[in-house]
Structures are given as structure tokens and as C-alpha cells.
A and B are shown apart, each in its own frame.
Chain A
Amino acid sequence: DTGVSQDPRHKITKRGQNVTFRCDPISEHNRLYWYRQTLGQGPEFLTYFQNEAQLEKSRLLSDRFSAERPKGSFSTLEIQRTEQGDSAMYLCASSPQTLQGRNNEQFFGPGTRLTVL
């Protein structure tokens, strides 16, 4: 399977615990994005990487959230001291660097569903 993969698919944790999610993008894609989707809503942008550089962070990304992409390949998203409001689907997407101004579509992974009790 050469699509975007995410691990784990489901995570249940207690309030106050730390959680970490992993995303493996499509191998030749140098851009990687994280989004959060709550029930009944559209995905909301959290952050994005071009290679290993984190180029933009949303105001939604509080200081409890941190994302890394150390070698420009896979990425991790960590949430510290989880709160019940963090319960959501966390989506990862990747895309190739745009060529000739073309805004390439993003390919999404299956998501990690987080439930904070």
C-alpha cells in the first residue's frame, strides 16, 4: 500500500495523559499536513511541514501540541496533558511540492480517532 498511513487508528486515553500519533506520508511527497476533525465538522488545519521544516502552525495548536518531522519522512503529533476537548479525528495528509504554480491535491490518511475520558 503506497498511500498515507497513520498509527494508531484509535486511541483512548484518560484526561491528563500524553499521546503521540504517527503519520507516514506517500514516499515522494515532501509536504505533510496535520488536520483535526470533530464530529459533524470539516477538517481544520493544524500545521504543515515542507521536508523537515515546520512552516506554519495554526492558532488551534496550543502549547500542549507539538509536531515533528525529524528526517523529512514520517511525522509525529504529540498532545500533552490531554483534555476532553482534544477528542477528535486527527488527519494527516501529504502532497508533492507544487510545480509551475500548480496547487497539488493533498492525499489523506485514514486518521487517528482520539477519545479522552
Chain B
Amino acid sequence: AQKVTQAQTEISVVEKEDVTLDCVYETRDTTYYLFWYKQPPSGELVFLIRRNSFDEQNEISGRYSWNFQKSTSSFNFTITASQVVDSAVYFCALSAGRQAAGNKLTFGGGTRVLVKP
């Protein structure tokens, strides 16, 4: 079974501050993928980033960066220089197993980010 835990339920920052969201996952599969999705007040989930279990290289994409550490089963996500439009609920998700598993996503409980002007 897979499990994703997002211990932070809500984070409040002032615009231009950096925000780091924690994600810890559990799976017995050696092949898996990790995702971050954003759910703004409108409700539609928006894909942000994906990382597979074979690539621990951390990357930066615009104002987003992530830190994937298999040793601690963590996949943390950082928004640099936050903006009011970043206010949303952010979900970490896991998809594990072979392709035949259907790639269903197991989501964490989400972290609400509030960026104040």
C-alpha cells in the first residue's frame, strides 16, 4: 500500500518570502513517481512537477524547486519569492508499481498556502 503524508496543514507567508512544503511517502515498490499538484480556490487540480524514483537530481523550474531524498522518503517542494497568486492548496501525490498498475495517484492531505500582500 502507498501512503503520502503532508504534516503541514496550513502555511501563511508574506509576499516574496520563500515557502517550503514537506512531503513524506511510503511505498514498497522500487519504481514510483512523485508529483506536486496545486488546487487554487477555483478547485481544479493543476499539475506542477513530476519526479521518478530513479532520478534524485533536484531541479529548479522558474520559482519552483524540489528536493527529493530517497533515504528519508521525502519530496519537498519550494516556492521562491512567493506571490499572492500562489495562494492555494498544494498536494503531494505518489504513483507506484508497474505500468499495469494504472498509475493511480495516492494523495496527501494537502497544505494550504496563504500568501499575504
User: What is A's interface to B at a CB cutoff of 8 Å?
Assistant: 31, 33, 35, 40-45, 48, 50, 55-56, 89, 91, 93, 95, 98, 101, 103-111, 113
CB distance from A48 to the nearest CB of B (A): 5
Stretch at the interface among B11-19, B65-73, B76-84, B107-115: B107-115
Cβ–Cβ contact A103 & B107, under 8 A: no
Beta-carbon contact of B104 and A45 below 8 Å: yes
Residue from A91, A104, A108 whose CB has the most chain B CB atoms within 10 Å: A108
Point out the residues of chain B lying under 8 angstroms from A33, CB to CB. Answer: 104-105
Given the known interface contacts A41-B110, A105-B50, the answer about A110 and B43 at a Cβ–Cβ threshold of 8 Å is: yes
Interfacial chain B residues near A50, Cβ < 8 Å: 102
Write the nearest CB–CB distance from B83 to chain A, whole angstroms.
22
Q: Are A109 and B44 closer than 8 Å at their CB atoms?
A: yes
| Residues A103 and B33 in contact, CB atoms below 8 Å apart | yes
Point out the residues of chain B lying under 8 angstroms from A104, CB to CB: 103
A41: chain B residues at CB < 8 Å are 109-110
Within 8 A of A (CB), among B82-117: 91, 93, 95, 99, 101-110
Q: Beyond A31-B102, A42-B91, A103-B52: 5 further Cβ-contacts under 8 Å? A: A40-B109, A42-B93, A42-B110, A45-B104, A45-B105
Collect the chain B residues with CB atoms within 8 Å of residue A56's CB.
101-102, 104
Contacts of B4 in A (CB 8 A): 42
